[in-house]
Amino acid sequence: MQLNKKAGLFTGTMIGLSMAVSTVTWADNHPIRISYIEPLSGPFANVGDAGLKHFRFAAEKLNNEGGILGRDVEIVAMDNKQSPSESVSLVQRSVDNGINFVTQGNGSNVAGAIVEAVDRNNRRNDDKVLYLNYAAVDPALTNERCSFYHFRFDANSAIKLEALSNFMTTRDDEIDKIFLINQDYSHGQFISKRMKALVDEKLDAEVVGDVLHPIAQVRDFSPYVSRIEQSGADTVVTGNWGNDLSLLVRAIDSAGLDVNTYTYYGGGLGTPAAVGPRGEDILFQVSEWHADVNVDEGLEEYEKWFVEFKERYPEIDWYYHRIYNQMHMLKNAIEEVGDADDVVAIAKAMEGMEFQSPTGTVTMRAKDHQILQPMYISVMDADAKYDADNSGVGFRTVANIPVEEATDTTSCDMRRP
């Protein structure tokens, strides 16, 4: 009887130990997954597809260097059809599938819905998820709507507008009449309101037009361009992205309108090709990077990264430098914690993190989870080493914004677990 009891205890112990070893082995071998929640169908499918290629390339590069904690990184593509409600469902699907990380960037309206879904899940459940935002720039996301579980790797719209307006003051003699045209949701609405205030504060100019148009619904921008022409504007400022920007600049070009155009995403997929060499010296963008920064600053290793990506995907360029930062900072945070499943500890590790990016030190501000990084303003130039979007024209830097100037204040009052 004693022997049987001992044997039974021993057997049960062995079964429990076997299950524990099996679980550890599974965790060690199973990929660290990131849900990529973006439009992979519909009018912005080209933007979603380009971002997916960026993330999968970055994951492959990390995996070739040993992954994270010896585990591969896997990007799980999820088509949100540019819908906030669909994105909320995909956050839940990620949780149900045991995925700890979600990433998204196209559309601050979508981003806001994801923040709410992530917060709701993390309040109610032990299976927590972290939201890594690589492109949604509405300042509210790191101010009144800030969340412990949300990290933004792009400069917010307030930072970008501050940089653009400061640069525009250096060209004040060329700027008299400004026309604002933006997509009608939180991102575009912020630009409309804030840019008018900045013009009053900094520029000897007037806003002669301010249009908000439906997002992803306009197929012909010529009526809007007619309004720009009738206003007598010499300058256009727009935060449009995707086809809404490509179609706008094409319509401006087709009308032969002689206006300088200041953009957030002028180097993004489709836009350089839409305007081509005719955009030289008149199409500006504010960004955390562009291809010729590699040349200007002698970033030989990062230039190899850019060239390798282009060889892999000849139809697009490596555009989202922030994805490089995001993936490496996530890796550093997980490896500091030593556990890819402890979402709270990973978030705490990322707060305040400094990372030596190819373009300089970037910092994830602890107070609101807004990244602070050097910024560049560039203009289309046919003499650039690397063309953009296979257009024959690239970008050259016209202003460097050091990290201490590429910042803003925050009203975030974050609730931490």
Residues 272-286 pLDDT 10s: 999 999 999 999 999
Can you read off the two tokens belonging to residue 359? 């373009």
Question: Which letter does DSSP use for residue 91 in this model?
Answer: H
pLDDT of 240 higher than 80: yes
Residue 71 scores a pLDDT above 70: yes
Average pLDDT (366-378) is 98
Residue 176 clears pLDDT 70, i.e. is over it = yes
Whether residue 346 contacts residue 356, with contact meaning beta carbons closer than 8 Å, is answered with no
144 pLDDT tier (thresholds 50, 70, 90): very high
Residue 225 has pLDDT above 90, yes or no: yes
Residues 271 and 268: their CA atoms lie apart, in Å, by 6
In this prediction, residue 12 has a pLDDT band, given cuts at 50, 70 and 90, of: very low
When pLDDT is cut at 50, 70 and 90, the band that residue 27 belongs to is low
Pairing of strands 371-372, 260-263: unpaired
Cβ–Cβ < 8 Å for 330, 350: yes
Q: What is the mean pLDDT of residues 187-195?
A: 98
Q: What is the mean pLDDT of residues 138-154?
A: 98
Share of the chain above pLDDT 70, in %: 93
Question: How far is residue 354 from each of residues 60, 333, 360, 361, 388, measured CA to CA in Å?
Answer: 23, 11, 10, 7, 30
pLDDT in tens, 324-367: 999 999 999 999 999 999 999 999 999 999 999 999 999 999 99
Confidence category of residue 28, pLDDT binned at 50, 70, 90: low
Which pLDDT band holds residue 29 (cuts at 50, 70, 90)? confident
pLDDT score of 15 more than 70: no
Q: Which residues fall within 8 angstroms of residue 260, CB to CB, at 6 or more apart?
A: 171, 174, 175, 234, 235, 236, 282, 284
| Overall pTM surpassing 0.75 (yes/no) | yes
Residue pLDDT, tens place only, 241-297: 999 999 999 999 999 999 999 999 999 999 999 999 999 999 999 999 999 999 999
What value does the mean pLDDT of the chain take? 94
Confidence of residue 18 (pLDDT cuts 50, 70, 90): very low
pLDDT at 164 over 80: yes
Give the number of other Cβ atoms within 10 Å of residue 205's Cβ: 19
Average pLDDT (211-239) is 98
Instruction: List the domains of the chain with CATH numbers.
Output: 31-155+304-372 (3.40.50.2300), 158-287+374-401 (3.40.50.2300)
The DSSP secondary-structure symbol of 392 reads S
Q: How far apart are the first and last CA of the chain?
A: 51
The answer to whether residue 13 scores a pLDDT higher than 50 is no
